[in-house]
Amino acid sequence: MRTALSILTLVFMTINSNANATGSFTEEIISIKTRNGNEQSGVLSRSHETTNPKKLVLLVSGNPSVTRPRFDENGKITTRQNGNFLVRSRHYLLSPQVITLLLDCRSDFDSACPDDYQASAERAQDIEDLVAEIRRRFTSVSEVWAVSTSRGTITTAGLLKHKETSYTGIIHTAGTYGIAISQGVDFGPYKTPQFIFHHKHDPCRYTFHRDAARLSEKWGISLVTVSGGSGFKGDACQAFTQHGFAGREEKVSLAIRNLVETGVIEKNEID
């Protein structure tokens, strides 16, 4: 019987260097062959100051959760979901100790990442096999966290159900908790620490703050409530309303980074 590592194949790896307000960073597109012969890809981001990272943070974007990363004409990585909260904010999460992996959906799902697949043991295994490749390259990584937003919360709930012991902590942001539960995945009872970041005035009908508060109370999940913001535009459930933390991206992302670095929520409100 072949081991998981013998099944994996590194399909391509390219380096992209860039800089922004958070400092200089390097990005690579990593892709493996999955156990059913498709591909699972992700964008690995790390600060130029990073040599021996301790913490890997998986990022799961919202609907349609298909990022399909590629290099543009300027040599920078672009995706189909550049506006998504976690995609556009991922560099705020980087530090000398923290690297991130922005997940794509598996290659056989091109238009949307199906809810039933996101909730499945197969999805959890595809992700774990990609993580194994990252950990093979960065043997210093001792903790793996996962952060989702919106419909990507189905995936993080699935990780809890199928691979709970693989994760140090799970963070849900602006989550579609009811949709996840309808797919047979729930948010407790689990021993792995969970955290919720949710805007007080999230206008999306699938992600009202009251739903986050009820979930927090039911399972004892720490809740961070976000208020304020700016530049709101577009549909209520899209990326540039309170649902996507528009105007609060940096504050929310830095709070998430601090949580990953310390394991503790600094404050339960962000304004």
Pairing of strands 39-47, 23-33: antiparallel
Closest CA to 31 of 40, 18, 20, 23: 40
- Longest CA–CA span in the chain (Å) reads 55
Distance from C-alpha of 116 to C-alpha of 127, rounded to nearest angstrom: 15
Q: Helices 153-163 and 121-137 meet at what angle, rounded to 10? A: 80
Q: What is the pLDDT of residue 179?
A: 98
* Segments forming the whole domain that contains residue 87: 4-270
Q: What is the CATH number of the domain that holds 225?
A: 3.40.50.1820
> Cis (ω within 30 of 0) for the bond into 114?
no
Closest CA to 219 of 180, 163, 261, 270: 180
Compute CA distances 51 → 54, 77, 140, whole Å. Answer: 10, 21, 9
* Structure tokens belonging to residue 55: 């913490």
Compute CA distances 59 → 7, 97, 146, 153, whole Å. Answer: 24, 16, 6, 10
The contacts of residue 116 (CB under 8 Å, 6+ apart) are 183
> Which residue bears the tokens 């923290």?
98
Total domains present in the chain = 1
> Model-level pTM?
0.92
Phi then psi for residue 209, to 5 deg, are -60, -35
Instruction: Provide the residue-wise pLDDT of the chain in tens; the chain has 271 residues.
Output: 333 433 344 444 444 555 444 569 999 999 999 999 999 999 999 999 999 999 999 999 999 999 999 999 999 999 999 999 999 999 999 999 999 999 999 999 999 999 999 999 999 999 999 999 999 999 999 999 999 999 999 999 999 999 999 999 999 999 999 999 999 999 999 999 999 999 999 999 999 999 999 999 999 999 999 999 999 999 999 999 999 999 999 999 999 999 999 999 999 999 9
Q: Taking the CB of residue 101, how many other CB atoms lie within 10 A of it?
A: 25
